[in-house]
Chain A
Amino acid sequence: MLYIKCPYCGLRSQNEFAYGGDGTVKRPALNKEISDVEWNNFVYNRKSPRGKHIELWHHISGCRQWIKVQRDTVTHEIFKTVEADKDI
């Protein structure tokens, strides 16, 4: 079970969090003309990297904040966690 440092609450066990997928995906702006390919990439296509991965976690059984976590997908090492509106 991972030990994740919530930027608001401190170190908490993984079972307080929900996984939220790739944290680098940017939603296209509203009302923006956008091609099918771009939209499909946003909705469906995700990379599954081996190694460092920036991902979202939601502290649902805690402060209910979405956070960004940089984690190694092989070793599970967590390098950094930041508030949702910050960049890693």
Chain B
Amino acid sequence: MSQTYRLNNSGLINRDKKISFKFNGKKYFGYEGDTLASALLANGVHLVGRSFKYHRPRGFFGAGVDEPYAIVQMVRNNETEPNVRATEQELFEGLEAKSVNCWPSVNFDIGAINNFFNKFLPAGFYYKTFMWPKSFWHRIYEPFIRKAAGFGVASTKYDSERYEHKYEYCDLLITGSGPAGLAGAYAAAKNGARIILAEEKPRFGGSLLTSNVNIGNQSGKDWADKIIAELKEMPNVTVKNRAQVFGYYDHNMLVMSEKVSDHLPKTKKYIPKQRLWYVRAKEVLISSGSIERPIVFGNNDTPGVVLASAAKEYLKIYGVLVGKKPIIFTNNDSAYETAIEFKNNGIEPIILDTRSNPKSEIVDEAKNLGINIKFSHVVVAANGYKKINSAQIAQISANKKDLGIIEKINCDCICVSGFWTPSIHLSSQSGNKTKFDDKIDAFVPGKSKQNETTVGSANGIFNLEETINTSFEKGYELSKKITNKDNKVSIPQVSEKNYTSHDKFWCVPLPDKKNYKRFLDFQNDVTVSDIELALREGYRSIEHVKRYTTLGMATDQGKTSNLNGLQLVSDVENKIVPSVGHTTFRPPYTPVSIGAIVGREVGKHSKPTRKSPMHSWHEKNNAVFVDAGIWLRPRYYKKGNEGLFEASKREAENVRKNVGVCDVTTLGKIDIKGPDSAEFLNRVYTNAWLKLPVGKARYGVMLREDGIVMDDGTTTRISENHYHMTTTTAQAANVLSHLEYYLQLVWPELNVNVVSTTEQWAGAAIAGPKSRTLLQKLFPDKDLSNEGLPFMGYTEANLFGIPARIFRISFSGELAYELNVESDFGNFMWEKIIEVGNEFNIQPYGTEALSTLRIEMGHVAGTELDGRTIPYDNGLDGLISKKKDFIGKRSLNREAFNSKERQKVVGVVPLDKKTSIPEGSHLVKEANAKLPNPKLGHISASCWSVEYNNPFSLAILKDGKNMIGKKLYALSPLKNKSIPVEIVSSHYVDPKGERVRS
């Protein structure tokens, strides 16, 4: 298809490079430097989508981030991406996009029937309709609403693109590279400040790219090019295009999304699609410019109605005509530039100016060029359905209330300008209380809250000379404050045409007996009558009106509609706009993809993975791993066809019969040193620690101040003032913070130092009746007899030349030892244990066997110490010192903690000795009692007892100790099980603990 709307030579596109792309399955051509929007317009495609509620045809309205209509679904690399604005999407070879919110096609859309039923879809219709019959909600209304809601379709596939995060610090962040941004950046950079200049568009220069002005002795665009080129060469400057600063957060933290490769055909594997920058700036210069707002008139959503500034941008940057018979409808001077641009390209525009007799240089220029200008005229309504074909125009009275005779004139586009709205989003997000500026009928930033300064049209200044002068000055001042340098650059002379003031006119009245839809919010289909209805229904606060009508709540966040909405509310309510106030500006300024927010923290990168030094040995020996906190631990070692049950049973049996070895590297380890260490431990743990001799370990329980068990483990006295504490794998980090809290804040007088050594030591637990014999072979020179190294004893020895620590401690309830060597020697230690242990039938065992062994011994662990239990609940009464105070002791006096009703740890065996009890089952008196069946307790851990060859569980049960011998039921509605059980002692195996001492 030929580009019938493309001019022959103007624009900044590269005409040497033709690019092919597809829209709605049809092939088109554009040029390098085009956006999808400009390329479609060049091809005469105006119809790109359907509106949200009424499915009315939608074309292009803007040329950038403010675009409310042209939202398309992108198809790239076999993936689909919704919510892409065609006005921002740069063209690349092979680009594919589709229209959204229409079926079966954008040209013939069934949903357009809503347009005729619009009486049933007034403001707040979702609060009023769908109410009855009730049964319809689930089956009919909800699926219908779900299908109708939103633009486009989210991909159901895993996003294979790469997104990155970057943290950056700078002296000055400048948001926007228009005249204000460039001037501020240049002045600050030349004064030695480290700056970041961010531009949302691919091209730098902002309004200078399309305006007819001179700076110094060159055109605005040439000046911008020169400044950017110079800035890019400076080492203290980072210049980023396609980078949108979308949020201003606390303490001068701003977030910016950089579209790194959205404009490229296919992403290379390691080039991210987007990058999120977290920028901490000492100062921020907000130069985000302004957005043109429309004048509201009848059928103002018809394809072909565009912002005058967008029409100019399409002409000057892309060499594209939005129409060949344009009407320029304006209340101010800036749209005259668009008219003149049309005229210079051989197109005859008609200007309708709401003002009666404006006098300024640019109006004179238009007159001198012979442009047809109708003063005191307005567009009453646009005619045409999928494209404008004519306009109803009329003269308007001086009071702007009465329309003259309506006449019809032919046109194919209406370029509308209702003056400019400063983009104050970032200023407002920073906490700045904005104020209403009567001169421009818009809000501007007030007093700075954080270190932010707004310049240029974002600050309501539309005069270029003033913008350039103040921005140079601000750039210099802000940089001087940071760098203390005093290099001032000279400010260039500006020549521009003078403008006269705009007309405070924003909405064309309806002619008699006509009921045109007049749209305020083009994306959410909110009309003037919707707002009026909401006000009639009693909504007053602008925040309520917004939510009730959804004004400004679409993905464009009302960039082109909010201010007109406020005008309407203030007119109807007879209030002034500032007293109506504006709704809160919240980040993000433009939509940000979820992928960019998540960054690289996906899949296995969502958390760190810790592996023990013996990990590769486990892998080679068929270990099946399980996540234990952030560690990977072997759950069992698979042999042949074994599953979890068979393997863990074999491993546990071998521990009870021969000897097994388990990787316990993951246990938290804390090195404690200092003369007051014993006193400190005595306060941290519930039991007595002052008399622990050197070379001895002790089991300890620590509480939180509220009396709940925090963690347990053994601590060993290595030497006089040196202890080695172990914690559970999961609580390691919390325990260290806990210890640091008490040492630094509560008892700073204690001379103790704590440091984590979890990663410094590799650990192996050797357990089973043959463990001593095996150990003796590993350390032939050491006396490891029951007298030489008794239970809870500690010694240091030499493992084939490697220094090792030997602890005689047991988690399995068997005779057992724990060996520690430096992490680098972990694998050496492990292989030696296996090698020497072979003759004793040693087998490695995983966490599942480890659990089995501790459960049948009645050792409490994480599932009993679940953050809800106190030591008395866990049968740890003997560890509570009566003589000394410790953390949490006072809480143990609480009445509830000493109640007879308190749940305590017991053992549970199924009566049939066959059925395993699911963990989490509830213990109840009667299996079939009326619901809710009163719960007496719950199963905390289950195993297959290898000692007795039947299932065994631990439970936390009301009045536990007095329930021993009683028969109850274990109910698991999840697993649909009801199991008759008997309550027994939690110490199922070796209740006297003879084996560990043998």
Write the residues of chain A forming the contact surface with B, with a CB cutoff of 8 angstroms.
1-3, 13, 18, 20, 27-28, 30-31, 34, 36, 39, 42-44, 56, 58, 60, 64-66, 75-76, 78, 84-85
Whether the Cβ atoms of B280 and A3 lie closer than 8 Å is yes
B741 is an interface residue with CB less than 8 A from chain A: yes
Chain A interface SS verdict (over half): loop
Within 8 A of A (CB), among B438-463: none
Query: Cβ of A31 and Cβ of B885 under 8 Å apart?
Result: yes
Give Cα A76 to B893, complex, Å: 39
Q: Is B250 a contact partner of A43 (Cβ separation < 8 A)?
A: no
> How far, in whole Å, are A55 and B253 apart by their CA atoms in the complex?
22
Q: Which residues of A contact B733 (CB under 8 A)?
A: 60
Query: B740 to chain A: which residues have CB within 8 Å?
Result: 58, 64-66
When distances are taken between beta carbons in the complex, the residues of chain B under 8 Å from A30 are: 683, 885
Docked pose: A30 CA to B884 CA in angstroms? 9
Which of A3, A44, A58 has a CB less than 8 Å from the CB of B741?
Answer: A58
Cβ of A85 and Cβ of B748 under 8 Å apart? yes
Q: Decide: A75 near B748, CB < 8 A? Known: A1-B278, A58-B737, A64-B740.
A: no
Docked Cα-Cα span, A13 to B252, in Å, equals: 11
Chain B positions 201-232 with a Cβ under 8 Å from a chain A Cβ: none
Contacts of A75 in B (CB 8 A): 431
Q: Which residues of A contact B891 (CB under 8 A)?
A: 39, 43
Rank and list the top 3 A-B pairs by shortest CB-CB distance, nearest first.
A3-B251, A30-B885, A84-B744
Q: Contacts A1-B250, A43-B706 given: A66-B745 contact, CB under 8 Å?
A: yes
A-B contact pairs, 23 of them (CB 8 A): A1-B253, A3-B251, A3-B253, A3-B280, A13-B253, A27-B746, A28-B890, A30-B683, A30-B885, A36-B893, A36-B894, A42-B705, A43-B705, A43-B706, A58-B740, A60-B737, A64-B740, A66-B740, A66-B741, A66-B745, A76-B251, A85-B745, A85-B748
Q: Does B249 lie at the interface of the complex (its beta carbon under 8 Å from any beta carbon of A)?
A: yes
> Measured between C-beta atoms, what is the minimum distance from A22 to chain B in Å?
12
8 new A-B contacts at CB < 8 Å, known A28-B890, A58-B737 = A1-B250, A3-B280, A13-B253, A39-B891, A58-B741, A60-B733, A66-B741, A84-B748
Q: Is the CB of B890 within 8 A of A56?
A: no
Q: Is the beta-carbon distance between B745 and A2 smaller than 8 angstroms?
A: no
Residues of A within 8 A of B278 (CB): 1
Partner of A18, one of B249, B280, B431, B737: B737
User: A30-B683, A30-B885, A34-B890 known; A2 and B251 CB under 8 Å?
Assistant: yes
Least CB distance, B137 to chain A, in whole angstroms: 39
Could you tell me the distance between the alpha carbons of A43 and B253 in the complex, rounded to whole angstroms?
A: 35
> Closest residue of chain B to A34, judged by CB?
B890
**A85-B745, A85-B748 given; A2·B280 CB < 8 A:** no
Q: In whole angstroms, how far apart are the Cα atoms of A1 and B278 in the complex?
A: 10
Do B280 and A13 touch (CB < 8 A)? yes
Contacts of A85 in B (CB 8 A): 744-745, 748
Contacting residue for B250 out of A2, A39, A66, CB 8 A = A2
Question: Which of A13, A18, A66 is within 8 Å of B744, CB to CB?
Answer: A66
How long is the Cα–Cα vector from A75 to B432 in the complex, in angstroms? 12
Query: How many inter-chain residue pairs (CB < 8 Å) link A and B?
Result: 57
- Nearest chain A CB to B47 CB, angstrom units: 44
Q: Specify which chain B residues have a CB less than 8 angstroms from the CB of A56 in the assembled complex.
A: 745
* A31-B740 Cα distance, complex, nearest whole Å: 21
Which residue of the partner chain B has the closest CB to A23? B745
B693-707 interface (Cβ within 8 A of A): 705-706
B 693-736 to A, binary, CB cutoff 8 A, 1 in contact else 0: 00000000000011000000000000000000000000001000
Residues of B within 8 A of A28 (CB): 890
CA distance A6 to B746 in the complex (A): 19
Residues of B within 8 A of A34 (CB): 890
Note all chain B residues with C-beta closer than 8 A to A1.
Answer: 249-251, 253, 278
Q: Which residues of chain A come closer than 8 Å to B746, judged between CB atoms?
A: 27
Question: Contacts of A13 on B, CB cut-off 8 Å?
Answer: 167, 253, 280
Q: How would residues 167 to 189 of chain B score, 1 for a CB under 8 Å from any chain A CB and 0 otherwise?
A: 10000000000000000000000
A65 touches B744 (CB 8 A): yes
CB distance from A86 to the nearest CB of B (A): 10
Q: Which residues of A contact B744 (CB under 8 A)?
A: 65-66, 84-85
CB nearest to A67 among chain B residues: B744
Given contacts A3-B280, A66-B740, contact A76 B683 (CB under 8 A): no
Chain A residue nearest in CB terms to B253: A1
Nearest-CB distance from A57 to chain B (Å)? 12
Chain A residue contacts of B251, Cβ below 8 A: 1-3, 76, 78
A2 to B280: give the CA distance in the assembly, Å. 10
Cα-based distance from A17 to B52 in the complex (angstroms): 44
Query: Which residues does chain B contribute within 8 Å of A27, judged by CB atoms?
Result: 705, 746
Task: For the complex, give the distance between the alpha carbons of A84 and B280 in Å.
Answer: 26
Residues of A within 8 A of B884 (CB): 31
Minimum CB–CB distance for B381 against chain A, Å: 49
* Chain B positions within 8 Å of A39 at CB level: 890-891
Cβ distance B754 to chain A, nearest Cβ, rounded Å: 9
| Alpha-carbon separation in the docked complex, A58 to B738 (Å) | 11
Q: How far is the CA of A75 from the CA of B249 in the complex (A)?
A: 11
Give the chain A neighbours of B890 by CB distance below 8 A. 28, 34, 39
Residues in chain B near residue A76, CB distance under 8 A = 250-251
Q: Closest chain B residue to A29 by CB distance?
A: B885
In angstroms, Cα B280 to Cα A85, docked, is: 30
Chain B residues within an 8 Å CB radius of A78: 251
How many Å lie between the Cα of A56 and that of B167 in the bound state? 25
A66 → chain B closest CB, angstroms: 5
Taken together as a complex, chains A and B put the C-alpha atoms of A41 and B14 apart, in Å, by 73
Q: In whole angstroms, how far apart are the Cα atoms of A29 and B733 in the complex?
A: 26
B861-906 residues with Cβ-Cβ distance < 8 A to A are 884-885, 890-891, 893-894
Convert B654-695 into 0s and 1s, putting 1 for each residue whose CB lies closer than 8 angstroms to a CB of A: 000000000000000000000000000001000000000000
Q: How far is the CB of B20 from chain A (nearest CB, A)?
A: 44
Once the chains are docked, how many angstroms separate the CA of A13 from the CA of B885? Answer: 38
Interfacial residues of chain B within 725-782, with CB under 8 A of chain A in the complex: 733, 737, 740-741, 744-746, 748
Determine the chain B residues whose CB is within 8 A of the CB of A36 once the complex forms: 893-894
**Residue with the greatest number of chain B CB neighbours at <10 A, chosen from A1, A2, A56, A78:** A1
**Cβ A84 vs Cβ B705 within 8 A:** no
How distant is the Cα of A46 from the Cα of B418 in the complex, in angstroms? 54
Docked CA distance A7–B253 (Å) = 21
A34 to chain B, nearest CB (A): 7
Report Cα–Cα, A3/B250, bound state, in Å.
8
**CA distance in complex: A6, B310 (Å):** 49
State in angstroms the CA–CA spacing of A56 and B894 once bound together: 28
- Give complex CA distance A3, B253 in Å: 8
CA distance A30 to B705 in the complex (A): 12
B893: A residues at CB distance < 8 A: 36
A73 to B482, CA, bound (A): 28
The reply to whether A3 and B252 form a contact with Cβ atoms under 8 Å apart is yes
Query: Which of A18, A30, A56, A60 has most B Cβ within 10 Å?
Result: A30
